[in-house]
Amino acid sequence: MCKVICVTALGLCEDSVAQLKKIAQSGADALILRAKELDEEEYTDLAERVLEIFKGSSTEVILHSFVGAAKKLGVNSIHLPLGLLRDMSDEDKARFETIGASCHSVEEAAEAERLGVSYITAGHIFETDCKKGLAGRGLGFLGEVCKRVEIPVYAIGGIGAGNAFDVKKTGAAGVCVMSGFMKTAAPREFSDKLKRVMKMRISGKQLELYAITDRKLVEERGLCACVEAALKGGATIIQLRDKNVSREELVREARELLPICRKYSAPLIINDDWQAAIEAGADGVHVGIEDTPVEEIRKQAAEGFIIGATAKTVEQARAAQAAGADYLGVGAVFPSPTKTNAIRITNEQLREITASVDIPAVAIGGISYENIAKLKGCGADGFAVVSAVFGAEDIEESTKALREKAKQVLEEK
């Protein structure tokens, strides 16, 4: 599981002792005690007090920079800038169980690994107030570091719940967070949310334009041709929905679509039939309220298998999240030509449902280019459509226009 590490900047806290006590109960995997403004004697005194606060906590305390303080206090974990690591003797290295190093390039990461560290922090990844005016090195940089070394890499710099999933997808072993931990009134909730986000199998960004197939709309033009046109136009995920065919036929269709979806880096989801999804090698399944329960599928499926669930109430949304759902489909938000008996939900209900869970949610039901703007501010991460894409004469161009409109709406999520 990806780790959450707190890096201190005690000057950001109104009451540093009270904040550290909360962090000790937060469930964070480690705390790197960073205090560059102190000399070694002052740092040793601080570290001694912090170690007392964290006595009995599940959070490991890692001292920063001051090897002498760690030796004096009997701490077996140290984090060092690369310059100090280069000067560290083999004898000192041997006394520590864990040694970390801060790295700011792929070359530094490789050097730190050669010097025998247990892990590295790589950053800064995103723009952050701690380094005002300096652009982040980005996820591409992080991915290169993760590929270059075999030791765990922890991302640092501007990281929070909104981008932790993307960090994890690069191959990082976890995240280091400074301001988020120092400023929050609820470190436990903050830590738990980061861990939930990093356990997610799909992000809100992947759900921005969720295209669902309809046999009647694509049969004459060909399923594969229509799906590729939608993906060219900007659909971010495809759901194969074909309720009137056998499992064998559904598996065959899914296997035909998979290489097309892979070409555009879009997940392929199958509607209802989770066993067909697994057999075909699809990325996941979407189930309705009356279909196989999410928890049952989760027990049977592989770790990376995506499960979407329909929710029409706050209670259903929370239950789906607790059962292991990765995202929600919420609706119908407008009258739907494909589900004429679907129960409508209001914009306010949609807001309440999306706000009640941490997993992403897509609005569904009768969404079109003409009405999607009415969903501004409703909290949805994306929009699921059938006719607006596959019912269009020119699927690629219609999808392109709808994607642009969706982006505008999502800016005011």
Q: CATH top-level class for 205-410?
A: alpha beta
- When pLDDT is cut at 50, 70 and 90, the band that residue 358 belongs to is confident
Instruction: Name the token pair of 99.
Output: 């040694």
Give me the residue spans of the domains in the chain. 3-199, 205-410
Q: Which of 49-53, 338-342, 398-402 has the lowest mean pLDDT?
A: 338-342
Contacts of 118 by beta carbon, 8 Å cutoff, 6+ apart: 97, 98, 99, 100, 151, 152
Q: Is the pLDDT of residue 341 over 90?
A: no
pLDDT tens profile 253-272: 999 999 999 999 999 999 99
Strand partners, 398: none
Cα–Cα distance between 370 and 387 in angstroms, integer?
Answer: 13
Give the count of beta carbons closer than 10 Å to the beta carbon of residue 106.
Answer: 16
Strand partners, 237: 210
Evaluate whether 3-199 and 205-410 have a shared fold.
yes
**For 307-321, what is the mean pLDDT?**
97
**For 112-121, what is the mean pLDDT?**
98
User: What is the value of pTM for the model shown?
Assistant: 0.80
Cα–Cα distance between 238 and 234 in angstroms, integer?
Answer: 11
**For 85-113, what is the mean pLDDT?**
97
Give the pLDDT score at 365.
95
Under 8 Å between Cβ of 131 and 140: no
Under 8 Å between Cβ of 130 and 178: yes
**For 93-108, what is the mean pLDDT?**
97
pLDDT tens profile 199-234: 889 999 999 999 999 999 999 999 999 999 999 999
Give the pLDDT score at 208.
97
Contacts of 312 by beta carbon, 8 Å cutoff, 6+ apart: 289, 330, 331, 343, 345, 353
Instruction: Name the token pair of 192.
Output: 């738990």
Contacts of 182 by beta carbon, 8 Å cutoff, 6+ apart: 8, 9, 10, 12, 13, 19
Cα–Cα distance between 270 and 240 in angstroms, integer?
Answer: 5
Q: Is the pLDDT of residue 129 over 90?
A: no
Percent over 90 (pLDDT), the chain: 91
Give the pLDDT score at 361.
97
Spell out the alpha helix ranges (H) of 123-204: 138-148, 164-169, 179-183, 187-199
- When pLDDT is cut at 50, 70 and 90, the band that residue 132 belongs to is confident
- When pLDDT is cut at 50, 70 and 90, the band that residue 412 belongs to is confident
**For 235-252, what is the mean pLDDT?**
96
Cα–Cα distance between 120 and 73 in angstroms, integer?
Answer: 23
Q: What is the DSSP letter of 393?
A: S
Contacts of 119 by beta carbon, 8 Å cutoff, 6+ apart: 98, 100, 151, 152, 153, 154, 173
105-108: long-range pairs with CB below 8 Å, 24+: 106/141, 106/144, 106/145, 106/148, 108/82
Query: Reduced to 3 states, what is the DSSP secondary structure of residue 22?
Result: helix
pLDDT tens profile 362-398: 999 999 999 999 999 999 999 999 999 999 999 999 9
How many residues belong to the chain?
413
Q: Is the pLDDT of residue 130 over 90?
A: no
Cα–Cα distance between 115 and 109 in angstroms, integer?
Answer: 10
Q: Is the pLDDT of residue 344 over 90?
A: no
Give the count of beta carbons closer than 10 Å to the beta carbon of residue 83.
Answer: 9
Q: Is the pLDDT of residue 316 over 70?
A: yes
- When pLDDT is cut at 50, 70 and 90, the band that residue 340 belongs to is low
Average pLDDT, the chain: 95
In Å, the largest CA–CA distance within the chain is 78
Give the pLDDT score at 1.
67
- The CATH homologous superfamily to which domain 3-199 belongs is Aldolase class I (3.20.20.70)
pLDDT tens profile 148-158: 999 999 999 99
Cα–Cα distance between 395 and 49 in angstroms, integer?
Answer: 64
Strand partners, 211: 238, 385
**For 282-308, what is the mean pLDDT?**
96
